[in-house]
Amino acid sequence: MTPVTDIPAHIEAVKNGRAAARNSDLRARLKLLETFEKSLLEHQEGFVRALAQDFAKPRFEALMSELFPVKEEIKIIRAELADWMRDQRVTGSPFFPGGKSYIRHEGKGTILVIAPWNYPVALALVPLVGALAAGNTVLLKPSELTPATSKMLAEFCAKTFPPHLVRVVEGGVPQTEALLKHEFDHIFFTGSTAVGKIIMRAAAEHLTPVTLELGGKSPAIVAPDADLRHAAERLLWGKSLNAGQTCVAPDYVCVPEAKLAEFKNLLEQARAQMQPRLDEQPQIVTERHAKRLKDMRAELPDVANVEEADPRRVTLAFPANPPADSKVMQEEIFGPLLPLVSYRDLDEVFTRIAQGPRPLALYVFAKSRRTQELILSKTNSGGVCVNDTLLHLGNHHLPFGGTGSSGMGNYHGVASLRAFTHERAVFKQGPLKMLPRLLSPPYTEGRNRLIEKILRWM
């Protein structure tokens, strides 16, 4: 854990490195990404062990959902970086002949990255890739709820990056509060909407721009023409990954009323065939988080009678039509409960979604392209995945982010470079300086007539 008294020195160190990072050339940044990737592979087993220690994350999930996204981000940004760093010429004004206008892409400065516990490696290192490639320094704050992984991230960064480029502050609320009292050039936060509001209030004190990757109740819509078995299998996977502790996990499923019983049966079949034993699945991150889920479940008679030997494990359940005022329908679940809500026509679904906060993700299961497009046109969400779950998040060529209370800003691939870059407008005057002189005082009658003619001509 980093003593709070040491935090100012860490911040000063990375702020002192801003100029070198901003002015680094393409070769230096590509070399940095190469070092990043090589060190990631060298620390792979350490990360896998830490994730298993913190919440029993299986090796396959650790590699697939934690390390693969970081390598994918490095690969895409490496391919795009040369074009991104090149000055971008824009159309000049006919009134400034010979002038040159372009956009210069510069790092914002020092970025504070506050990472969550649910994917503690990926959600710390993926934004780190974009921030460094864009020419910034970074102060990284991992989650205290995954202490082994936090320690591993600190070790990884210390061995991989120069101390003026990346620093890691470990700890809990006191460390985060201390960090937020300081001025940064951008804050990147992943976590709950409630904490996101705290981050934004603190950032406002310094007028610091923010990227907020939050959450919400991401709905799935099973249309009347959907392949029910396929929908059941993919929703089961999307909800089972990381024991449902995923910001874009399907939070509830809207199913045609006449097909509700059949669909629930298909979910049960898919669970029996596909899901590993409970003791082979990731744990809930803490007993407190597990108790919250079990308290939700206790309100629902059709799934309440379940007991688990491990206090940090919760059995996946599919409550049917829970009360609208129940916790499972009012709060983001963030665990292995998947409510099924019946509907008679799609307008009911559109009304339900519109009445709640804008979700981070939307899942659409429909064969008809017309139905797919209808659902897209009638809903609003950060991202959409059609006939599957989570995969839009896995394609780093797509921007990832929320809307409304599910977040602001986005990242992944080129969107990451954009998030951490200041687009600096540059105009260079050419040799013909007559018009600028005509625009300067004294404002004679002749100049008044000239500007009137220009306005009519435009």
How much is the pLDDT for 436? 67
- Which residues, other chains included, contact 4 with Cβ-Cβ below 8 Å and sequence gap of 6+? 171, 174, 175, 178
Query: Do 259 and 376 belong to one domain?
Result: yes
CATH number, domain containing residue 132 = 3.40.605.10
* Of residues 271, 273, 249, 269, the one with CA closest to residue 261: 269
pLDDT digits (tens, 9 = 90+) for 163-211: 999 999 999 999 999 999 999 999 999 999 999 999 999 999 999 999 9
Query: Do 308 and 210 belong to one domain?
Result: no
Query: Do 180 and 327 belong to one domain?
Result: no
Measured distance CA(254)–CA(221) in Å, rounded: 5
458 in a structural domain = no
Query: Is residue 367 helix, strand or coil?
Result: coil
105 in a structural domain = yes
Its domain, for residue 285, covers 219-400
Q: In the numeric block, which tokens belong to residue 108?
A: 């914002």
Place of tokens 């024991």: 243
How much is the pLDDT for 261? 97
Query: Do 106 and 176 belong to one domain?
Result: yes
262 is catalytic: no
Contact present, 139 and 11 (Cβ < 8 Å): yes
How much is the pLDDT for 450? 81
Query: Do 40 and 78 belong to one domain?
Result: yes
457 in a structural domain = no
For residue 138, list its beta bridge partners: 111, 166
How much is the pLDDT for 434? 64
Place of tokens 């009304």: 351
440 in a structural domain = no
Query: Do 197 and 318 belong to one domain?
Result: no
Kindly tell me the sign of the dihedral angle through the C-alpha atoms of 392, 396, 402, 403: negative
pLDDT digits (tens, 9 = 90+) for 329-352: 999 999 999 999 999 999 999 999
Residue 207's alpha-carbon distances to 24, 183, 214, in angstroms, are 26, 9, 20
Ramachandran angles phi, psi of 250, nearest 5°:
-60, 130
Query: Do 370 and 327 belong to one domain?
Result: yes
CB atoms within 10 A of CB 93: 10
Query: Is residue 142 helix, strand or coil?
Result: coil
- In tens digits, what is the pLDDT along the chain, a chain of 458 residues? 999 999 999 999 999 999 999 999 999 999 999 999 999 999 999 999 999 999 999 999 999 999 999 999 999 999 999 999 999 999 988 777 788 999 999 999 999 999 999 999 999 999 999 999 999 999 999 999 999 999 999 999 999 999 999 999 999 999 999 999 999 999 999 999 999 999 999 999 999 999 999 999 999 999 999 999 999 999 999 999 999 999 999 999 999 999 999 999 999 999 998 877 777 889 999 999 999 999 999 988 888 677 888 999 999 999 999 999 999 999 999 999 999 999 999 999 999 999 999 999 999 999 999 999 999 999 999 999 999 999 999 999 999 999 999 999 999 999 999 999 999 999 998 877 666 677 778 888 888 888 888 888 77
How much is the pLDDT for 278? 74
430 in a structural domain = no
Query: Do 80 and 190 belong to one domain?
Result: yes
Query: Do 335 and 234 belong to one domain?
Result: yes
247 is catalytic: yes
Query: Do 159 and 37 belong to one domain?
Result: yes
CATH number, domain containing residue 283 = 3.40.309.10
How much is the pLDDT for 305? 73
Number of structural domains (the chain) is 2
452 in a structural domain = no
Tell me which of 61, 72, 247, 254 is the catalytic residue. Answer: 247
256 in a structural domain = yes
Query: Do 272 and 242 belong to one domain?
Result: yes
298 in a structural domain = yes
Query: Do 258 and 391 belong to one domain?
Result: yes
Tell me which of 72, 213, 233, 332 is the catalytic residue. Answer: 213
